Amino acid sequence: MKKNIIRLTMAMATTVAFTACAPQKPVLSFEHQGDTLTIVHITNPTKYLILPIQESCNEGKVKLDTGSPADMAMDIRLAVDSVEYYVPFALPKGEKEAVVTIGRVAADAICWDSIQLADTFNTANTDYYRPVYHHTPLYGWMNDANGLVYKDGEYHLYFQYNPYGSKWGNMHWGHSVSRDLIHWEHLDPAIARDTLGHIFSGSTVIDKNNSAGYGQDAMIAFYTSASDEHGQIQCMAYSTDNGRTYTKYEKNPVLTPFDGLKDFRDPKVFWYEPAQKWYMIVSADKNMRFYSSSDMKNWEYLSQFGEGYGAQPNQFECPDFIQLPVDGNKDNMKWVMIVNINPGCPFGGSATEYFVGDFDGKEFHCDTDKKVTKRLDFGKDHYATVCFSNTENRVIAVPWMSNWQYANVTPIRQYRGANALPRELSLYTRNGEVYMAANAVKETEGLRKGTSSIDNFSLADEKVISMETGQDGACEIEMDVTPDKASVVGFQLMNEKGEKTDIYLDMKAARLVMDRTKSGLIAFGEKAEPHAKETDEHRKTESVNYINDFALGTWAPLSLCEGKTYHLDIFIDKCSVEIFVDGGRIAMTNLVFPTAPYNSLRCYAQGGNAEISNMKIHKLGM
Ligand code: FRU
């Protein structure tokens, strides 16, 4: 027993209503042992301990102490000198006493005065930039989409989630469900960080043949447990209540790297019909490794693919492996390996690429030369993209809409991280090569709340259209653009503060560009200031008007399209712009932070004319 008890403070819960017949008052007391360990004693616990957060603070170690070896300390940035927001920390139900230990937070930190007991946690939105129609967690941090699976009419979106602050940490699988890919219901996290490690990314399948023995149609999740102690190992958990709760397999892990690889993660499992087996693809440093299994618990190594292919400045992450018909022809099926790379984006940071080829049940054979890089999206905020399993004839992908360069410092507080719109993937041929298109799913039409049609016009002179948008500027703009000798045909989304996102076809360079250098807030985080000396050479040459990690223009080659007329479909939300050209041959996803919603569209042409037809502006809302 420690002798150096410095202070003992008592605090009553202030937020709990008492009734005459409920005299069991919740009581909270802090026992500071030394300067960096505090024991929190709670009598008659409420549902939550409400913890004050300051993002610039170091992480404290907060543990619900039940005396079990399975107790896990969560890393929480408790406020030291000012409170920015609060997060709930669940307490055990039906107990008389609970003990929470808090390590690495000084006894004179401000948090001790504002920790509270409560039965509710207010999740009403407090973020200016929370999207109107994109999925976000109610509060806390989100990165990759995980374990996407469709079952019994529900799309399950699990995601890399920190429930204890809006910066990366304490990886859990958060959980939301939807019946239409647009309206999401927030559920409790499905898989929590444990003593084997953070619950990193992975996948979920429906066990139709009861291969794993947890019942027919059990949902089986595969994820990476990641910790300094155990490294990165693949684990399994199952759910028999439609994905609400998962039980971890008692003999986890099911797969460890045979060569001690440090980067070995993000298992994607799929049923491979010809072999009547389950297959797993795992990112393994600069390769993707294939394994197969009959019972999902014992995995046999088959092969690996990747080293030297495409853009590869760092390890591969978050694989997916899907089969699609080329040009809709089911007699010509191709396999596509989706690979997420970070860093490696030509515009800096994170990006998604893919390889098209054939799979013989053991090895993947890529159709193209090692040097060829095909990109799934040409914006800067499209990462960790993976697809739903069990969607029959459709392949639907969901990206995380951010970039590791600045994901932790975007001007958002209550939640941090959104998904880009779900996209339907398809293969098309262009100049003898097979490419993958990513188009916003047709369910997005359900967001439309009224449409204004604009008469066709020619861009001899510029034209400014005032946009009737949905809530907070949410809208979708569709049009057909036919450049007629113009060297540039542009569309500026503008607000009354003079902020603008400039979208233009640069016909000389044959590029579609989205320039966000003047889009609103453009500088935050450590690299907020323009770089006097930018060392990352490729970013200077490849991106347009590069100022800092955020303020730049991203571009896509128009050669992916048939040309002559381009169909643009532009989705604008509170802090994002997504463009889909010609059914997703080009997809471009970028965050923007205008300080007032964009409400007009300036259309212009330089060096010639352009015809704009079939323009429609849809108000979007939920
Ligand atoms: C990709 C990633 C994954 C990992 C997860 C951790 O963004 O780095 O490789 O599983 O994030 O949160």
- The answer to whether 171 touches 199, Cβ cutoff 8 Å, is yes
Is the predicted pLDDT of residue 8 greater than 60, yes or no? no
- Mutate which of 143, 263, 406 for ligand 1 pocket (most atoms within 8 A of beta carbon): 143
Ligand 1 within 6 A of 263 CB? no
Atom of ligand 1 nearest to the CA of 266: 10
Known catalytic residue at 582: no
Is the predicted pLDDT of residue 525 greater than 90, yes or no? no
Torsions phi, psi for 326 (to 5 deg): -85, 130
- Among 144, 377, 569, 582, the one annotated catalytic: 144
Ligand 1 within 6 A of 384 CB? yes
- The answer to whether 285 touches 263, Cβ cutoff 8 Å, is yes
Sign (positive or negative) of CA dihedral 229, 233, 238, 243: positive
pLDDT of the residue at 195: 97
Query: Which range is least confidently modeled, 103-107, 283-287, 339-343?
Result: 339-343
Ligand 1 within 6 A of 265 CB? yes
**Domain topology for 3-118:** Jelly Rolls (2.60.120)
Span from the CA of 202 to the centroid of ligand 1 (angstroms): 9
The dihedral region occupied by 448, where left means phi > 0, alpha psi between -120 and 50, and beta the remainder, is beta
Residues 582, 16: Cα–Cα separation, whole Å: 56
Is the predicted pLDDT of residue 1 greater than 90, yes or no? no
Residue nearest to atom 9 of ligand 1 (CA): 317
Span from the CA of 264 to the centroid of ligand 1 (angstroms): 11
Q: Specify the DSSP class assigned to residue 529.
A: S
pLDDT tens digit sequence for 182-225: 999 999 999 999 999 999 999 999 999 999 999 999 999 999 99
Ligand 1 within 6 A of 144 CB? yes
pLDDT of the residue at 526: 61
- The answer to whether 489 touches 602, Cβ cutoff 8 Å, is no
pLDDT of the residue at 612: 98
Span from the CA of 403 to the centroid of ligand 1 (angstroms): 12
Sorting pLDDT into bands at 50, 70 and 90, what band is 23? Answer: low
Is the predicted pLDDT of residue 480 greater than 50, yes or no? yes
pLDDT of the residue at 343: 84
* Residue with the larger pLDDT of the pair 17 and 227: 227
- The answer to whether 279 touches 270, Cβ cutoff 8 Å, is yes
- Mutate which of 162, 200, 401 for ligand 1 pocket (most atoms within 8 A of beta carbon): 200
Span from the CA of 509 to the centroid of ligand 1 (angstroms): 35
Is the predicted pLDDT of residue 575 greater than 50, yes or no? yes
Name the amino acid, one letter, at 511: R
Beta bridge partners of 238: 220, 247
Residues 62, 77: Cα–Cα separation, whole Å: 10
Ligand 1 within 6 A of 207 CB? no
Q: Specify the DSSP class assigned to residue 551.
A: S
Residues 92, 64: Cα–Cα separation, whole Å: 9
H or E stretch at 501: strand 500-506
Atom of ligand 1 nearest to the CA of 168: 12
Ligand 1 within 6 A of 315 CB? no
Ligand 1 within 6 A of 266 CB? yes
Domain span(s) for CATH 2.60.120.560 in the chain:
447-620
pTM strictly above 0.85: yes
Residues 275, 313: Cα–Cα separation, whole Å: 34
- The answer to whether 439 touches 589, Cβ cutoff 8 Å, is no
Average pLDDT score over residue span 131-152 = 98
- The answer to whether 218 touches 212, Cβ cutoff 8 Å, is yes
Ligand 1 within 6 A of 232 CB? no
Residues 183, 247: Cα–Cα separation, whole Å: 27
Ligand 1 within 6 A of 317 CB? yes
What is the Rg, in whole angstroms, of the alpha carbon atoms belonging to the chain? 26
Q: Quick check: bond before 253 cis, omega within 30?
A: yes
pLDDT tens digit sequence for 410-432: 999 999 999 999 999 999 999 99
As a whole-number percent, the residues of the chain with pLDDT over 90 amount to 89
Q: Does domain 447-620 have CATH number 2.60.120.560?
A: yes
